[in-house]
Amino acid sequence: MFIPDPEQEKAAILHRYRSLLTMLPPGNPDDKILVRKAFHLAAEAHKTMRRKTGEPYIFHPIEVAKIVAAEIGLDRISVVCALLHDVVEDTEYSLAEIRRIFGEHVARIIDGLTKIEGIFDQASSSLQAENFKKMLLTLSDDVRVILIKLADRLHNMRTLDAMPKHKQLRTASETIYLYAPLAHRLGLYTLKTELEDLALKYTEQEIYQTITEGLRDTEKERKRFISKFILPIKKSLALQNFRFRIVAREKSVYSIWEKMKNKGIPFEEVYDLFAIRIIIDTPYEKEKVDCWSVYSIVTDHYRPNIDRLRDWISMPKANGYEALHTTVMSHSGRWVEIQIRSERMEEIAEKGFAAHWKYKNGDPKGTVTNVDRWLNRLKDLLKNAESNAIEFMEEFQGFLFTDEIFVFTPRGELRNLPVNSTVLDFAYAIHSDLGNKSIGAKVNHKLAPLNQALKSGDQVEIITSQKQAAREEWYGYVVTARAKSQIKTAIKEEKRKFAAPGRQKLENIFRQAGIEVNDNNINKLQNKYNYGSVIDLYYDLALDLIGMKEVRSTFHTLTKAGWFSSIITRPFRGRATEQETLSETIIRQMHLQPSNKADDLDLTKMSYEVSDCCNPVPGDEIAGFIEPNEAIRIHRAKCPVAIALMAKYSNRIIKTTWIDKESVGFPAGIRITGIDRKGFAKEIISVIAENMDLNIKSLHLEANAGMMEAVIKVYVYSTNNLHLLINELKKMPDIKMVTRIEV
C-alpha cells in the first residue's frame, strides 16, 4: 500500500513550484504575485486529491504550467490559468470566486477550460464533443484556452501509463484524431510530434516498440554518418563568416510509421531516419538572401533532388512555418533531407503560435500573415457552428487535416486554400456574398465551372449574378468547412422565408384529411420522409413537392405499422449465414463490460456485429461501440474507424476482451511480395494448407516484370496463429515481405 510522507511531498511540491518560477517569461511584477496566489489557491483546493499514479494532484497543474511557460512560451497570465485550470471543475471553488480573486480575463479563460456538466442524449450527442466545441468556441475571445488545453493534454499523455487500458485507448484516440492535428495547425511542431508518438505508444504498442528499438540499435551508425556528412558544410559556412549551428533531428516514431505504412516497407528499408537542420543567426531583412546562400553552399558539396526543393520562405505554410527544404545525395549514395532556416524561423517552427505573436508584435507594419488568415477562417467556422457537437467535431477535424495550395486573386493577392479546393471554395474564402452569387469563374483567364478544382499558381476571377442563390447541390462542389458552413447558412435563410406559408399549407391539408394539427403528427410526417428539420418539411410543402398524397400515405401506413412489424420481426428459422454464425461465435468468445455511463444496459439483450472494416481476430485488442440502434459493433482497437469513435463517443464504449481464442476460424488478410518464379503459388498454398493446417478463403496472385504480389484471405484462430503463418511464409526463398492487411 502506498503511504505518502507529508514532509517529503511538501518539499517535492515546493521544488516543482520553484522550478516553474525559473521558467517564467519577463513581465509585470504584479503578474508574478498572481502566479504565487494561483499556486497557493490550487495547492489548497487540490490538497486532498491524488492522481492515478498516487502523486499529489497539484503536480499536474504545476507541470502543465511548466509546459505553458517553457515549451510553448506563453505569458504569465497563461501560467496562472494553467495552475487553476482544474480548480472550478474538480473542487468547491466557483467561477465567480476565480473572477473575484483573479479578474474577468483569467475567469474567461478558466471557463473555456472547464468541462460541461450534465447528461446528453447518447444517440445524438457526446459529452466529449460538447466539451471540445465549448473549448474551441472561446477562441474568438482568447486563443490561450486552446494552447493551455494542449499543454494539459500533453502532460496527461506523458502520465498515461497509470490509466487502465480502455482509458489509454480512448485518450490516445482523441489525441491522434484532434489534438495532434490542432497542435500542428497552430505551429507547435514539438508538441505535435510528442503527442503523435505518445498516441502511437498506446494504439500500436508492438510497432512503437519495434521502431524505438530500431532507432536505438542504429544510433551509433547514424551519428558517424552525420558527422562525416556535415563536416564540409561546416567548413564552407565558417569561411563565409556565417553565424550558424547545425543539428541533426531524428524523425519521430510516428512519422517513420506513417512512411512504413504508406510505402509498405519494414523499418529496415526506411533510410531517411533523420534530417539535418542548418540554423543561421542573421537579421530579419537578410534572412531570405542568407538562406539561399546557405542552400548554394550545400549544393556545392552535394547534388540536390530538384523535385524535393520546398520554398516555404517566399510562401510560408498556414501555421506560419518558414524554411527552405531540400534533399541531397550523399557521397555514400544516401538521400539526406536538409532544412535551412533562421533563428527566428526556428523559434516559430518549435513554439508556433506564441512565437508568431512575439515577432508579429514587433512588426511596425502589423503584417497579416498566413497564421492570421487561418485563424480568421477558423473563427468563421466557429461563428457558424450551428450544427450539433458531433457534426461540428467532424467538420473541424476535416478543417485540420489538409495540405494547401496557393492561388491568386485578379489583383495578385495570395490566398491559401486546402488541396482539392474548387472555384466555389475560393469564392466563399473571399466573402460569403460572393460565394452565394457565384455562377462561374475565369481561371487563368479561361471560363471554368464552380466545381473545377484549383491548383497552386492559379489566378481566379469569380463571375456573379444578383439572381443567383446558394443551392443544395453546391455541398458536393466544395471541400472547405467555411464554404460548407456558409452554404448551409444561406440555404437555411432562404428556406426560412417559406416556413410560414409551408406551415399554413400543412395545417390546411391536415384539416382536410381529418388529422389533428399538433407537433406529434408533424413529427411523424417529418420522420416518415427523413427531413432533417421541420423547416425543410415546410419548404417542400410550400413548393408543392409533397402534399395530400404523402400525408394520407403517412398516416395510413402508421395505422398498419403494428401488424406489419409483427410479421417482419418473426424469427427466421432457415440456415444461418456465415456472418450470423461468426457473430454468434464471437459473442461466446468475448467478455463485455459497459462503461460507467452505459452500465444500465442489458448487454444480453443487445445484438452484436463484427465490423467488416477491420475484421478483428482473437488476440487483437478490441473495443465495442453501442450504436444509436443499440446494437454493439466490434472493432479492432487500432482500426481508424474505432479511433475516430473513441475520440467522439467515450460514453458508448464497451470494454471488450477475448475469452476462448482457439474455437473457430476468423477471416484475416495477408499481402506477400517477392521475386517471381515457377511454382510460387503452389508453395504458398502448401505452407498455408499443409504446414499450418489453415483454410484459404481467397487468393489473388499477380506477376509483373519479375516481381510477384499475392493477396490471400485465410481463416485463422488467433493473432498468434496469424503471426506464426506470417513467420513461416517469410522463411520461403525469394519472399521479400509479408504483412497483415485489412479484409
Rg (CA), the chain: 30
Catalytic residue among 9, 31, 55, 90: 90
Contacts 24+ apart (CB under 8 A), 91-97: 91/45, 91/46, 91/49, 92/45, 93/41, 93/45
Question: Smallest Cα–Cα separation from 291: which of 307, 308, 314?
Answer: 314
Is 89 annotated as catalytic?
A: yes
Q: Residue 616 and residue 635: Cα distance in Å, rounded?
A: 6
**First-to-last C-alpha distance (Å) of the chain:** 47
Q: What letter represents residue 284's amino acid?
A: Y
Task: Give CA torsion, residues 576, 579, 583, 588, to 10 deg.
Answer: 60
Do 197 and 251 touch, CB atoms closer than 8 A?
no
Q: DSSP string spanning 665-696?
A: -EEEEEEEEEE--TTHHHHHHHIIIIIS--EE
Which residues are registered as beta bridge partners of 276? 248, 338
Residues 6+ apart with CB under 8 A from 381: 395, 396, 399, 481, 482, 485
Residue by residue, DSSP assigns 284-304 as: GGGHHHHHHHHHHHHHHHSEE
CB 451 within 8 A of CB 476: yes
Torsion of CA 727, 730, 736, 737, to 10 degrees: -30
Task: Please give the grid coordinates belonging to residue 461.
Answer: 476571377
Q: What are phi and psi of 265, to 5 degrees?
A: -125, 155
Q: Which of these is catalytic: 31, 55, 89, 311?
A: 89
- φ, ψ at 109 (rounded to 5°): -70, -45
Is the CB of residue 588 less than 8 Å from the CB of residue 616?
Answer: no
> Which residues have CB under 8 Å from 596's CB, separation 6+?
none
Locate 163 and state its grid cell.
490509466
Question: Taking the C-alpha atoms of 627, 629, 633 and 637 in order, what is their torsion angle to the nearest 10 degrees?
Answer: 0
What whole-number distance in Å separates Cα of residue 541 and Cα of residue 548? 10
Query: Which among 453, 430, 431, 451 is positioned nearest to 440, based on CA atoms?
Result: 451
DSSP string, 5-48: -HHHHHHHHHHHHHHHHHHPPS--HHHHHHHHHHHHHHHHHTTT
* CB burial string 689-702: b at 16+ within 10 A, e below: eeebebeeeeeeee
> Which residues form the catalytic set?
89-90
